[in-house]
Structure 1
Amino acid sequence: MNDAAVTEGLTFTESEPGAFLRPYVTHLSAYTERYADPMPRRQPPFAGVVMIFGFGAPLTLDGPEGAQRLASFAGGLHDTYVDTTTTGISEGVQVNLTPLGARRLLGMPLRELANRVVPLEEVLGGWATATVARLAEAPDGAVRIALLDEALSTRIGDAPLPDRRVGWAWQRLVATRGTMSVASIAAELGWSHRHLVSRFHDQIGLAPKAAARVLRFEHASGRLRSGMSPADTAAVCGYYDQAHMNREFRAMAGVTPRGLASPPRTIG
């Protein structure tokens, strides 16, 4: 089922991924943005990998590696924010993948994408170019989503499965919202800390401790937006105290917990 909406120059259509993609894709939407003036946004980190299949004006993205202008791009798991600016008419389809979904789709160590935004063709080659061209020719957002769902399902289905043990470790972190200790995960797997970090760098992108910080931040952001006080949020989300949470928010979002605006699930 598709839901269409228009908000302040943004027209978008979103749909739940098909059954095959659901373990790998958490968000799938087609969009068109038209603004008379440049539209800046700050994109805090989230626990996934974003891909933009864009065929409109390029976005300006300013992250840990500096500023660049891209229409189609992939952003790996980040533990800090990216600033974006939309100008002109920006159009495309956005996909948010789980880290393991991105690992299977890309077939490359995700450490190479951690805290980076790169041209989509750099990680998906000619397949990305051909897919963007097909999407640009489609008549509307619903058709574009259906086309990309099919293309992603075929490509992921043809790729090897990710490491199931890393999958288990990632799901334990997700289930505990980043509060399970890395030592406990390593012990349950029978791995050394060093080996666990190595496998996370390959399959997730960030080390387990950094990935847990992102999950904790995401949980705390949701609690704050639901109306919970910063002090209670810090206690519920596993921070040492409110000062600790404040430091984490400044590092990861560039603002205090009270100052964090509702973050869109997009990097563009």
Structure 2
Amino acid sequence: MPYQEWGSGPLGGRAVVWSRTAGAGPQRVLPDGCTDVIWSHGDPAAPDGELFVAGPDTRAHLAQGAPGTRWVGLRFAPGTGPAVLGVPAHELRDQRVPLAALWPDAEVRRLAERLAEAADGGGAGARSPGRLLEAVALDRLRRAEPPDPVAGAVVAGLSGGRSVAEVAAAVGLGERQLHRRSLAAFGYGPKTLARVLRLNRALDAARAGTAFAEVAAVTGYADQAHLAREVRALTGVPLGRLLAPPRPLS
């Protein structure tokens, strides 16, 4: 099954559900400022599968699984993950952490069992386990402290190309305060978050067929060379390779 994703109705714009089946080689997961709860299943040695958290990445991560391994994930929009998981985002930066390290072990075991039952119950592909992950996350959000109230405005400002100083002023914080709160909400400071968000805007434009020089101009890079350096720094490969048809990674 190729990669699929769909918006989370119960969680609104705060999350998407996704699924993927491992192929013959690792998959390149690009930084996006998000945190994911992921259920990995298909290994006979772990009949209920494994639950883990993928923290916000500062550069591309190569996800490896035996061919046929299936993943179902709930990806939280930047700033939402800490409220669900109960830990600041910077504690998960560039890490893959068992969910049982964050939540009570018995609770995680029960969730894994329920996910396995949902997958075996004849539901529509990954949608039954995905709905269960949504329900669990929504319940925890209802009981948790709400996400940082400035997170949405910070993401919107940086996505719109505003400087860190401009965003800090707009949300009524000093730059040091903004940096500290960004670490907790997003996993890294606003400058890194701005780079990650700009990368994803550039990739969206390039995938839509925009010429690379125009991509650089409309997404805030100094020039095409600057775009090329940033893409390689954050993803490990040139832009052209990212846009090439999918193939196993060597």
| TM-score, with structure 2 as normaliser | 0.85
State the match for 1:222 in structure 2.
204
Structure 1 position 71, deviation (Å): 4.1
Equivalent of residue 170 in structure 1, options 148, 155, 167 = 155
RMSD over equivalenced CA pairs, Å: 2.4
Mapped to 2, the partners of 1:34 and 1:183 lie a distance apart of 42
Equivalent residue runs for 1:31-46 within 5 Å:
33=21, 35=23, 38-46=24-32
Equivalent of residue 194 in structure 2, options 212, 220, 241 = 212
Mapped to 2, the partners of 1:29 and 1:240 lie a distance apart of 34
State the match for 2:12 in structure 1.
22
State the match for 2:108 in structure 1.
128
State the match for 2:173 in structure 1.
191
Structure 2 letter corresponding to 1:244: H
Is the contact made by 1:49 and 1:96 (CA closer than 8 Å) also made in structure 2?
Answer: yes
Mapped to 1, the partners of 2:185 and 2:22 lie a distance apart of 37
**Please, which moves more after superposition, 195-204 or 144-153?**
144-153
Structure 2 letter corresponding to 1:133: E
State the match for 1:64 in structure 2.
none
Structure 1 position 166, deviation (Å): 3.1
Structure 1 position 262, deviation (Å): 6.7
In structure 2, the CA distance between the partners of 1:130 and 1:99, relative to structure 1 (3 Å rule), is farther
Is the contact made by 1:51 and 1:94 (CA closer than 8 Å) also made in structure 2?
Answer: yes
Equivalent of residue 181 in structure 1, options 132, 143, 163 = 163
Structure 1 position 225, deviation (Å): 1.0
Runs of 4 or more off by more than 6 Å in structure 1?
none
Counting helix residues as a fraction of each chain, which structure ranks higher?
2
Is the contact made by 2:55 and 2:95 (CA closer than 8 Å) also made in structure 1?
Answer: yes
State the match for 1:98 in structure 2.
77
- Structure 1 regions of 5+ residues with no counterpart? 1-5, 59-69
Q: How many residues align?
A: 236
Structure 1 position 30, deviation (Å): 4.6
Mapped to 2, the partners of 1:134 and 1:232 lie a distance apart of 48
CA displacement, residues 58-77 of structure 1 (integer Å, 9 cap, x when unaligned): 9xxxxxxxxxxx94321122
Is the contact made by 1:24 and 1:102 (CA closer than 8 Å) also made in structure 2?
Answer: no
Give the fraction of aligned pairs with identical amino acids, expressed as a percent: 31
